[in-house]
Amino acid sequence: MNVVRSIAQLRAAIKEERKLEKTVGLVPTMGFLHKGHLGLVKASQAQNNCTVVSIFVNPLQFNNAKDLSTYPRDEERDLTMLESLDVDIVFMPATEEVYPSKMNVSISVSPIEQQLEGFHRPGHFAGVGVIVTKLLNYVQPDRAYFGLKDLQQYFIVKNIVEDLSIPVEIEGVATVRSETGLALSSRNARLSIEGLALAAKLYTGLQLVGTSLQANGSPQQAEKHGLKYYEQYQGIEVEYLAIVEPHTFESIETFLPERDVAVCVAAYIEGVRLIDNLYLRPDSPE
């Protein structure tokens, strides 16, 4: 496993792989890896013969300074996990090299950016857009892998790549969950045992909304069911629960079973902000 810490080293390492006519898959992460990230790595390894994992806690996408300073990090553990999966290249750049000066360019994706995560975390997706574009430019992969756990991010990245004609396939990978249904997340490390049990209720609530939606066809009623379910638990502070059309992330007025729909939730538990979603696709249900 080749661990590189500068853009020049990364480009040189990829040049060598390209000489061997390898296809390159990129898995962007912010580290503190878990099985969700490893799912992306495995998806890349199944489709490419060189997998690059980037680990970079991107300051530009944090709208909350405390969230950035408390974001969990463990470089040694991350490298051990990636080594055990036989990853080819790990890219861990310094913030100063990625952002040598204040960014003058901003990337915004309408109308998705105004909704849900974008609305509640101003500037977040602009930061995501910049770092993803930079990483795609550094690595120039054939494919890049993103988790459907961050569904809005996945669609935003697809929009950027399409509109800016970046030659890469964006692949969405299913959410990896614990046995309790809790979506794996680096932020889960900040929860107590009680907090983890509460966090698992987020997915139960989403499933309830999905079932209600399919049974009654009313998004308004399904949303009410979901909110009522979460209200039972004092430790769950819902920021939003929304049933949206995934290409725009606008709330749907009527449910059509033949159309894609996403049920999205964001909630605070023990002061930790968690998100999850249920992505209902008629062709390939989750």
147 in contact with ligand AMP (CB under 6 A): yes
Site for ligand AMP in 149-168 (CB under 6 A): 149-150
| Smallest gap from residue 38 Cβ to ligand AMP (A) | 9
98 in contact with ligand AMP (CB under 6 A): no
Give the phi and the psi of residue 100 in degrees, each rounded to 5: -70, -25
Give the residue with the Cβ less far from ligand AMP, 197 or 227: 197
Q: Is 110 exposed, middle or buried (0-12, 13-18, 19+ CB in 10 A)?
A: exposed
Q: Which of 34-42, 92-100, 105-113, 249-257 is the region at the interface with ligand AMP (rule: CB under 6 A)? A: 34-42
Give the residue with the Cβ less far from ligand AMP, 68 or 227: 68
Between β-strands 50-55 and 89-91, what pairing exists: parallel, antiparallel or unpaired? Answer: parallel
Which of the residues are catalytic? Answer: 37
Whole-angstrom Cα distance, residue 99 to residue 116? 27
124 in contact with ligand AMP (CB under 6 A): no
117 in contact with ligand AMP (CB under 6 A): no
Binding mask 176-195 for ligand AMP (x = CB under 6 A): x------xxxx---------
Give the residue with the Cβ less far from ligand AMP, 93 or 147: 147
Put the strands of the sheet holding 250-251 in their side by side order. 250-251, 237-245, 261-269, 272-280
37 in contact with ligand AMP (CB under 6 A): yes
143 in contact with ligand AMP (CB under 6 A): no
201 in contact with ligand AMP (CB under 6 A): no
Long-range contacts of 277-282, Cβ-Cβ distance < 8 Å, separation of 24 or more: 277/148, 277/149, 277/151, 277/175, 277/206, 278/203, 278/206, 278/207, 278/209, 278/210, 279/148, 279/151, 279/246, 280/210, 280/213, 280/214, 282/257, 282/258
- From candidates 36, 127, 195, 226, binder to ligand AMP by CB under 6 A: 36
The first and second tokens of residue 225, run together, are: 């069911």
CA nearest to 79, candidates 68, 69, 94, 89: 89
25 in contact with ligand AMP (CB under 6 A): no
Give the residue with the Cβ less far from ligand AMP, 77 or 228: 77
Please check whether residue 116 is in contact with residue 266, taking contact to mean a CB–CB distance below 8 angstroms: yes
Q: Which residues bind ligand AMP (CB under 6 A)?
A: 29-30, 36-37, 39-40, 146-147, 149-150, 173, 175-176, 183-186
